[in-house]
Amino acid sequence: MKRFVGFIKKEFYHIFRDTRSLFILFGMPIVQILLFGFAITNEINNVDIAILDHSKDATTKEIINKISASKYFSIKQILERETDIEAVFKKGKVKAVLNFETDFGKNLIKDHQATVQIITDATDPNTANTISNYINSILQNYQQEQNKAIHIDYVIVPEPRMVYNPELKSVYMFVPGVMTIILMLVSAMMTSISITREKELGTMEILLVSPIKPFQVIIGKVFPYIFLSVINAVVIVLLSIFIFKMPVQGSLFLLALESVLFIISALALGILISTISATQQTAMMISLMGLMLPVILLSGFIFPISSMPLPLQVLSNIIPAKWFIIILKGIMLKGVGLEFIWKETLILLGMTILFIGLSVKKYKIRLE
Amino acid sequence: MKTIRYIIQKEFKQIFRNKGMLPIIFVLPLLQLIILSNAATFEVKNIKFAFIDNDHSASSRALIDKFEASTYFDVLTVFPSETQASSAMLKGEVDVFLEIPSHFERDLQKNKTTSLGVTINAIDGAAAGVENVYVTQIVQSYNKQIKTDLMQVSDAQIQPVTITSIPLFWYNETLNYKTFMVPGILVLLVTMITLFLSGMNIVREKEIGTLEQINVTPIKKSQFIIGKLFPFWVIGMGLLTIGLIIAKLIFNVPMIGDLLLMYFYTSIYILVILGMGLFISNFTDTQQQAMFIAWFFTVIFILMSGLFTPIESMPGWAQTLTEFNPIKYFVEVMRMVMLKGSGFVDILPQLVKTLVYAIIMNGLAVWSYKKTT
């Protein structure tokens, strides 16, 4: 036991001696969560659009004013010809062009009917679709105002209630995701590097011939990082509560336990990576190249998993981050207890045990 | 010149000798391109939908049928009460549920109006907004239907004005996400591979002590840097080529613009990333430090590139920050040239900025590389 404590001490020395890494380790997550918490949003704001008004009458003017008054759009350019549309899109200056037909106002009064084209640059399909919907709803509103005098009968009025996030803030969606990504990558990367480093520098041999048992080596290696990652997690949670006003509806204690579980599973994954790679370079490339994009894309952090093709939905199940994000959102936003997230917790636990089991099996106590 | 050739030879040998790395450099990125491009979609589909019918009338059933017929909603179950539906939502089994009030039909016939409770799980605010639009659309079309069904002769009314808006989606009429995402993800993979490899390169020689050996040779600073950069530049261009072939063959991404222009831009872009990698490499003592820094910047570059979330929605200061993000320019250029067929003049601003960036980064890399320890 004393030997083991000594070993852990050595690991702590290693970490604290390298102040530069330590600085990066704690500074990075803070910078990232602040940056992303504020900057990443898929709300549509201040989209630059252009107007091509063939009619130039009072009605179109009124509609254009309505559009520029909304916080979603700012009118950047007034076009004169149809051929200009292509040019502004190619330069990437505006995302949409509103094309009013000739005699728009006159038609509306005479025929009760007028047409406007909403042309969007759909290279970004999501934004294009949203812009199109928003402009359409502004037009609908205008139309309703004009029709106010006419009483429309027989209507079902839907009363939408947005639960868990009434203001539809995208911070609520992204902060748990960013937290997961940071913890996952930092933890996996750190352990995988620290073990392969000893291999590469040749000090692993010394550890192997010492009386410390192999599993003690691994636990001793991981222990300091559990400690560091927990500090990181605490900082991130504090930032999200105090800066981003994320609610924690559920129990903080449960949140802490689940975070520790997730950290351990990420560390275990790091160990597994280190047992299969010979050099730090390989270990890092696996944990960076192999983990970064799958974790960002398949965890439900940005893109909803339920909309993915079925094979990918199945594949997403092996990403530990997916389960942790569900747990985080459950505890923080929905305020659920363990009875609602035991399944996710068990899956994380199972994965952790699997990673550890595999690494123990793969860990070579002899040199080749 | 000969010296540079030998260094390049040495670097290539080192890369291809490491059998563990080869699949990571060449197979992993392409595999990710093929698989993950399918994941990146903001479409809201397969919405888990439930309802509570307190009325059990013909009208309420007709409304539910409308939802059933919609392709967006997967109608799951009927819940007897709101508490049960809420609890299912807590478990994540339900995204949206309707609550049809009692006397739904009676109110509709007598008062000509009635309300309908719609509860939406709004943790993903953007998806919730879209779900709300879908629900409203279905209810509106139902409204229209009952209007014609129930309207009496006496209700004949003045004709309301209608503005018909015709949405036109240029360059991507079917709103196919893959044509949008594949070029972007390819950009990320090329960037990550070249940045990580170059970032680890010199510091690795430092760490295992071989850098000193090189330092005592007559190799000049610039020769050394060029020799180090070139192999990664080749790897980056190679990845781009294979990636473009995959984009064409598997995803059928349109390539309207000039491919040569694409390659010209990429050749400069990779220099920015390599310069950045070497700069990091020079400033760190261990591969671990180098990778942490590279990781830090990559995550920031990726998430603030406009690839997954639009840059225009970011607050002003964040938009200014993205000006320093090389990935942003690459994503923009890639999409402009491939999907819109933008020409040299259209991408000139991005090209100039990237060129300046490349000169600064590589200047810094050469300057910060010291031959003495």
Sorting pLDDT into bands at 50, 70 and 90, what band is A46?
A: confident
Sorting pLDDT into bands at 50, 70 and 90, what band is B366?
A: confident
Please tell me which of the candidates B116, B163, B166 has its beta carbon nearest to residue A156: B116
For the stretch B323-340, pLDDT in tens is 999 999 999 898 888 888
**Residue to test with chain A: of B163, B311, B332, B342, most A Cβ within 10 A:** B163
A115 and B32 within 8 Å at the Cβ level: the answer is no
Residue A353 has pLDDT above 90, yes or no: yes
| Range with the poorest average pLDDT among A146-150, A340-344, B201-205 | A146-150
Please tell me which of the candidates A156, A290, A316 has its beta carbon nearest to residue B142: A156
Residue A18 has pLDDT above 50, yes or no: yes
Sorting pLDDT into bands at 50, 70 and 90, what band is A149?
A: low
A293 and B121 within 8 Å at the Cβ level: the answer is no
Which residues, in sequence order, are bridge partners of residue B48? B74
Sorting pLDDT into bands at 50, 70 and 90, what band is B276?
A: very high
The pLDDT of residue B260: 92
Q: Two tokens at A285?
A: 């490339």
Average pLDDT, chain B: 85
Residue B153 has pLDDT above 60, yes or no: no
Sorting pLDDT into bands at 50, 70 and 90, what band is A368?
A: low
**Residue to test with chain B: of A34, A38, A42, most B Cβ within 10 A:** A42
**Residue to test with chain A: of B38, B161, B328, most A Cβ within 10 A:** B161
A42 and B36 within 8 Å at the Cβ level: the answer is no
B41 and A308 within 8 Å at the Cβ level: the answer is yes
Contact B223, B4 (CB under 8 A): yes
Please tell me which of the candidates A41, A119, A282 has its beta carbon nearest to residue B314: A41
The pLDDT of residue A351: 94
Instruction: For each of the domains in chain B, give its residue range(s) and CATH number, in order of start.
Output: 47-155 (3.40.1710.10), 175-368 (no CATH)
Q: Which range, A322-326, A333-337, B1-5, is most confident? A: A322-326
**Residue to test with chain B: of A66, A179, A297, most B Cβ within 10 A:** A297
Residue in B closest to A112 by C-alpha = B161
Taking the CA of residue A33 and the nearest CA in chain B, the distance in Å comes to 10
Backbone φ and ψ for A155, nearest 5 degrees, come out as -130, 145
Beta strand A113-121 with A96-100: parallel, antiparallel or unpaired?
antiparallel
The pLDDT > 70 percentage for chain B reads 95
B163 and A200 within 8 Å at the Cβ level: the answer is no
pLDDT, average across residues A69-84: 86
Contact B226, B4 (CB under 8 A): yes
Residue B373 has pLDDT above 70, yes or no: no
Residues of B in contact with A147 (CB under 8 A): 160-161
Residue B70 has pLDDT above 80, yes or no: yes
Residues of A in contact with B91 (CB under 8 A): 336, 340
The pLDDT of residue A345: 94
Position with higher pLDDT, B183 vs B370: B183
Sorting pLDDT into bands at 50, 70 and 90, what band is B154?
A: very low
**Residue to test with chain A: of B110, B113, B124, B284, most A Cβ within 10 A:** B124
Residue-level length of chain A: 368
A123 and B284 within 8 Å at the Cβ level: the answer is no
For the stretch B13-68, pLDDT in tens is 888 888 878 888 888 888 888 888 888 877 787 888 988 988 888 888 888 888 88
Residues of A in contact with B176 (CB under 8 A): 125
A304 and B42 within 8 Å at the Cβ level: the answer is yes
Rounded Cα distance between A193 and A204, Å, is 13
CB < 8 Å from B in window 159-188 of A: 159-170, 172-173, 181, 185
pLDDT, average across residues A336-345: 88
Contact A150, A161 (CB under 8 A): no
Amino acid identity for residue B67 in this structure:
F
Residue in B closest to A105 by C-alpha = B163
- Is the CB of A282 inside 8 Å of chain B's CB atoms? yes
Locus of tokens 């007028």: A114
Rounded Cα distance between A209 and A162, Å, is 62
Sorting pLDDT into bands at 50, 70 and 90, what band is A148?
A: low
Contact B130, A304 (CB under 8 A): no
The pLDDT of residue A151: 57
Residues of A in contact with B320 (CB under 8 A): none
Q: Is A202 exposed, middle or buried (0-12, 13-18, 19+ CB in 10 A)?
A: exposed
Please tell me which of the candidates A24, A43, A166 has its beta carbon nearest to residue B313: A43
Residue in B closest to A97 by C-alpha = B168
Position with higher pLDDT, B144 vs B350: B350
Rounded Cα distance between B315 and B126, Å, is 17
Average pLDDT, chain A: 84
For the stretch A155-210, pLDDT in tens is 777 777 877 887 777 788 888 888 898 888 888 888 888 888 888 878 888 887 88
Please tell me which of the candidates A95, A278, A297 has its beta carbon nearest to residue B20: A278
Q: Two tokens at A309?
A: 């093709």
The pLDDT of residue A260: 93
- Is the CB of A139 inside 8 Å of chain B's CB atoms? yes
Residues of B in contact with A336 (CB under 8 A): 90-91
Rounded Cα distance between B94 and A217, Å, is 46
Residues of A in contact with B135 (CB under 8 A): 158, 160
pLDDT, average across residues B168-179: 80
Q: Two tokens at A320?
A: 């530990």
Sorting pLDDT into bands at 50, 70 and 90, what band is A282?
A: confident
ipTM of the complex: 0.80
Q: Two tokens at A181?
A: 């990504």
Residue in B closest to A25 by C-alpha = B292
Contact B310, B224 (CB under 8 A): no
- Is the CB of A249 inside 8 Å of chain B's CB atoms? no
Residue A45 has pLDDT above 80, yes or no: no
CB < 8 Å from B in window 57-76 of A: none
Closest by CA to A182, choosing from A243, A228, A229, is A229
Q: Two tokens at A72?
A: 């979603």
Residue A228 has pLDDT above 50, yes or no: yes
Instruction: For each of the domains in chain A, give its residue range(s) and CATH number, in order of start.
Output: 10-40+168-362 (no CATH), 47-146 (3.40.1710.10)
- Is the CB of A226 inside 8 Å of chain B's CB atoms? no
Residue in B closest to A132 by C-alpha = B167
Calculate the alpha carbon distances from B254 to A132, B45, B189, B338, B340 in Å.
23, 25, 20, 7, 9
Q: Is B40 exposed, middle or buried (0-12, 13-18, 19+ CB in 10 A)?
A: buried
Question: Number of Cβ pairs closer than 8 Å across A and B?
Answer: 374
Amino acid identity for residue A274 in this structure:
S
Tell me, yes or no, if the pTM score tops 0.95.
Answer: no
Residue in A closest to B130 by C-alpha = A130
Q: Which range, A39-43, A91-95, A328-332, B105-109, is most confident? A: A328-332
For the stretch B218-232, pLDDT in tens is 888 888 888 888 999
Please list, residue by residue across B357-372, b when 16 or more beta carbons sit within 10 angstroms of its beta carbon and e when fewer do.
bbeebbebbbeebeee
Please tell me which of the candidates A114, A163, A304 has its beta carbon nearest to residue B163: A114
Closest by CA to A293, choosing from B149, B29, B100, is B29
For the stretch B223-261, pLDDT in tens is 888 888 899 999 999 999 999 999 999 888 888 888 899
Residues of B in contact with A38 (CB under 8 A): 314-315, 318
The pLDDT of residue B371: 67
The pLDDT of residue B17: 85
CB < 8 Å from B in window 337-356 of A: 340
